[in-house]
Chain A
Amino acid sequence: MKALVYKGNKDIQLEENWPEPSIVHPHEVKIKVDFCGVCGTDLHEYEEGPIFFINEAGKDKTNVISHKYYQQAMGHEFCGEIVELGSQTDPNLKVGQKVVIEATGTCMDREYLETEEKEKCSSCAQGAYNACDNIAFYGLGFSDGGFAEYCVIGDHHVIPYPEDIIPVEIAALTEPLAVAWHGVAKTHVGPQDTALILGAGPIGLCTIFALKGHNVKNIVVCEPAHDRRLLAAKFNVTVFDPTPYNHDEEKLVKALLKLSPSSWGFSRIFDSSGNKETFDISLGALKTNGIATNLAIWAHKAMTVYPMDLTLHEKTLTGSMCYTRLDFEEVIEAYKSGLIDPEEVKQLVTKVCSIDEGVEGGILELINNKDKHIKILIDPRGNKK
């Protein structure tokens, strides 16, 4: 079968005859991939990797949980159709079902892979596998992913979705929506809240939908790129252009505060950009008792905090990591209840690219023309269809 395979730094290749995976363990499900999104993490692996692909703890460049060699089909934002079931899979799963994939590979997966018995890390032991010490993903080091025609997955990662409500063309976006959902849900946000999103890239935009899914009506999005602001504005949020303030943080905070109720600040702020300026704004524009959540992946770089800034107004600083299956289920529920509008989500897809052109038209296109795109989907059957 065809697959886009990670071979190493700056080296992703289209393999025409990558071995088609088959079911080995009783809890495995074979999926025919419909679409798979390209994520910022994929680009990081290309430009700066291997990051997730070779976990330090793994020997001989294999994953520490699955023991699979790192040269794998990439892609972790995917949806597909069940084509075959293992002998002991979840009885709710049926051949022909449309499904999305919760893509983590953690201590929780040793069991279905029937590998050695080892003590779980402290996060997994407490059920928080999104923060597993050994986290990797299908398509990112753990096992073959969704830039391929077929994929074999543990049944607890497979979540059916209603095709009549979530069109197959956008189902792959359930994964980035789940990332945003996880961060939003953690803050116990509700209709009374006013939220500020810093950055309208894919995760920032998905955060709009996650907030709508929590009935939040007052949403402000701060984004310097014109086209992204334009897109965000289509989703009935207030958009803010920080560029005229020329990185003067004090003036920026003041201007943003004016967009909050009575200018007292936002009750929830989500940083999907991850730089010093957005960090400082995320504290400065927060009101008493507000929560600032980091959704971005940062370099190991020190920011500056004045503990009394947090204390005098009892502000909270936190971060959100990945997702669990529950987040996927809740995103699907939000579509069902009409809180997330598929017509809006559809607008995040700026290109669908056949797997044959996946490297040039997907990975490199996003690296070279970042501003032109939000989400590029890879169609693994592309030209063959």
Chain B
Amino acid sequence: MKAIVYHDRGDVRYDPEFPEPQIVRPDDVKIKVHYCGICGSDLKEFSDGPIFFSEKGTNNEISDLPYPQCMGHEISGEIVGVGSEVDSLVVGDKVVVEVTGTCFDRYRFPDSPGFNKPKCGSCLEGHYNACDYLGLTGLGFTNGGCAEYLVTAANKAIKFQEDIIPMNVAALIQPIAVSWHAVRISHFKEGHSALILGGGPIGLTTIFALKGHKSGKIVVSEPALARRQLAEKLGCVVFDPTGKTVDECVEQLRALSPNGYGFHHSYDCSGVPATFKTSIKALNIRGVATNVAVWAHKAVDYYPMDATFSEKIITGSICFVKEDFEDVVEALHNGHIPVEEVKLLITSTIHLEDGVEKGFLELINHKEKHIKILFSPKEKYRVQQA
């Protein structure tokens, strides 16, 4: 089958003859992929990897699978086959894939040397999103969705109604789930105000997660004009931090908060020292700063009294759990997240065979021109040869 395959840093290839996966376990489901989004972490694996992929020549801790492996973890598709014990899904169901690979998935890989290992501390308490061995389908754990088909466990597939959520929009449920998780663990309350630092893909999906939580005022701070315009279209107040010091940004952003008291919540979707500082200083008393960005292993300055005097709360959100997917699907079904608005994030859709050049390289070289590029194996996206 056609697939985009990770070999190593700087080496991602389109392969028209990658072996098609088959159902082998009784709880397997086979999914025909309709769309798969390309994510910032895919680009990082390309430019700086392997990160989630195990070290070259080693296998994934949970699945014991090696790579080359199909990439892609923002997946929408339809069930085309089910294992003998699957009764929750039938052929034809439209699904999105919860892609984590954690201690909870060891049971599927009895030949792995770690099969009998006890769960890590996070998984022991059910927080598998923070698993010590976290990998993703399409990022080291198992073959992903930049392909015609994939096979995963039935409990990883979440059904949705295609008549409400078009298949291409469904591929964005995964990045919205990342943001949904962040908003949920920050104990967001209806009507609260929020500041989003960074209007890239995760910054923008955080807008939807907030809408799904019935937020009050949302302010988005983002230097790129096109992204600010998009955020504005989604009903947010926007702010351009270009050329301003952190203190100036803090003062002007606070002025945009309800009563000028500061925001109930901030979400750092950029991950640089300036946004870290702003995320704390722009908060109201007892406000919560949540990091959603993936940082380099870099230290930032932190003044304990900054948090103490106004009892601010500083935390971070990692990945998602199945519940976040279910919540996002529900919010799209009931209209709290408007499908038409989510569609605005899709800046292009390309065929798998163009994925390396028009997907990876285009995003690396012209990041500012895009929000979300989707891959599809569908014939209609194949560029006609002249």
Q: Which residues of A does B touch, CB under 8 Å? A: 122-123, 125-126, 128, 130-131, 186, 262, 264-265, 274, 279, 287-289, 294, 296-298, 300-308, 310-321
Question: Which among B297, B298, B302, B308 has the highest number of chain A CB atoms within 10 Å?
Answer: B308
Contacts of A306 in B (CB 8 A): 295, 297-300
- Report whether A305 and B285 are in contact in the complex, using a CB–CB cutoff of 8 Å: no
- Report whether B299 and A262 are in contact in the complex, using a CB–CB cutoff of 8 Å: no
Q: How far is the CB of B154 from chain A (nearest CB, A)?
A: 27
Q: What is the CA–CA distance of A325 and B317 in the complex, to the nearest angstrom?
A: 34
The verdict on A317 contacting B314 (CB below 8 Å), with A288-B121, A304-B300 known, is yes
- Contact among B262, B302, B318 with A304 in the assembled complex (CB-CB below 8 Å): B302
User: What is the total number of residues of chain B having a CB less than 8 Å from a CB of chain A?
Assistant: 43
Is B24 an interface residue when CB atoms closer than 8 A count as contact?
no
Contacts of A316 in B (CB 8 A): 313-315
- Report whether A303 and B271 are in contact in the complex, using a CB–CB cutoff of 8 Å: no
- Report whether A314 and B298 are in contact in the complex, using a CB–CB cutoff of 8 Å: no
Is B57 an interface residue when CB atoms closer than 8 A count as contact?
no
- Contact among A128, A312, A320 with B285 in the assembled complex (CB-CB below 8 Å): A128
The contact string, 1 if C-beta is below 8 Å from chain A, for chain B 256-268, is 0001111000001
Contacts of B268 in A (CB 8 A): 307
- Report whether A310 and B291 are in contact in the complex, using a CB–CB cutoff of 8 Å: yes
- Report whether B315 and A314 are in contact in the complex, using a CB–CB cutoff of 8 Å: yes
Contacts of B300 in A (CB 8 A): 304-307
- Report whether B311 and A318 are in contact in the complex, using a CB–CB cutoff of 8 Å: yes
Closest residue of chain A to B296, judged by CB?
Answer: A308
- Contact among A122, A186, A288 with B262 in the assembled complex (CB-CB below 8 Å): A122
Those 6 A-B pairs whose CB atoms lie nearest each other, nearest first: A319-B308, A311-B316, A264-B121, A302-B301, A288-B122, A316-B315
13 other contacts beyond A310-B291, A319-B308, with CB at 8 A cut-off? A122-B260, A122-B284, A131-B310, A264-B121, A296-B304, A302-B301, A302-B303, A304-B302, A308-B297, A314-B185, A314-B315, A317-B302, A319-B305
- Report whether A321 and B309 are in contact in the complex, using a CB–CB cutoff of 8 Å: yes
- Report whether A274 and B304 are in contact in the complex, using a CB–CB cutoff of 8 Å: yes
Contacts of B259 in A (CB 8 A): 122, 125
- Report whether B261 and A300 are in contact in the complex, using a CB–CB cutoff of 8 Å: no
- Contact among B124, B295, B303, B315 with A300 in the assembled complex (CB-CB below 8 Å): B303
Q: How far is the CB of B215 from chain A (nearest CB, A)?
A: 18
Q: What is the CA–CA distance of A303 and B125 in the complex, to the nearest angstrom?
A: 30
Is B189 an interface residue when CB atoms closer than 8 A count as contact?
no
Q: What is the CA–CA distance of A305 and B308 in the complex, to the nearest angstrom?
A: 16
A-contacting residues, B59-111, CB 8 Å: none
Q: What is the CA–CA distance of A300 and B308 in the complex, to the nearest angstrom?
A: 12
- Report whether B311 and A126 are in contact in the complex, using a CB–CB cutoff of 8 Å: no
- Report whether B285 and A289 are in contact in the complex, using a CB–CB cutoff of 8 Å: no
Q: What is the CA–CA distance of A320 and B314 in the complex, to the nearest angstrom?
A: 13
Q: What is the CA–CA distance of A238 and B366 in the complex, to the nearest angstrom?
A: 57
- Report whether B304 and A303 are in contact in the complex, using a CB–CB cutoff of 8 Å: yes
- Report whether B271 and A307 are in contact in the complex, using a CB–CB cutoff of 8 Å: yes
Q: What is the CA–CA distance of A264 and B125 in the complex, to the nearest angstrom?
A: 11
Q: What is the CA–CA distance of A320 and B259 in the complex, to the nearest angstrom?
A: 24
- Report whether B307 and A294 are in contact in the complex, using a CB–CB cutoff of 8 Å: yes
- Report whether A313 and B261 are in contact in the complex, using a CB–CB cutoff of 8 Å: no
A-B contact pairs, 7 of them (CB 8 A): A125-B261, A304-B300, A307-B295, A312-B318, A316-B314, A318-B312, A319-B311
A-contacting residues, B218-272, CB 8 Å: 259-262, 268, 271
Question: Which among B121, B122, B124 has the highest number of chain A CB atoms within 10 Å?
Answer: B121
The verdict on A311 contacting B295 (CB below 8 Å), with A126-B261, A305-B300, A316-B315 known, is yes
Q: What is the CA–CA distance of A303 and B304 in the complex, to the nearest angstrom?
A: 7
Q: What is the CA–CA distance of A307 and B301 in the complex, to the nearest angstrom?
A: 10
Contacts of A305 in B (CB 8 A): 299-302
Contacts of B303 in A (CB 8 A): 298, 300-303
Q: How far is the CB of A143 from chain B (nearest CB, A)?
A: 22
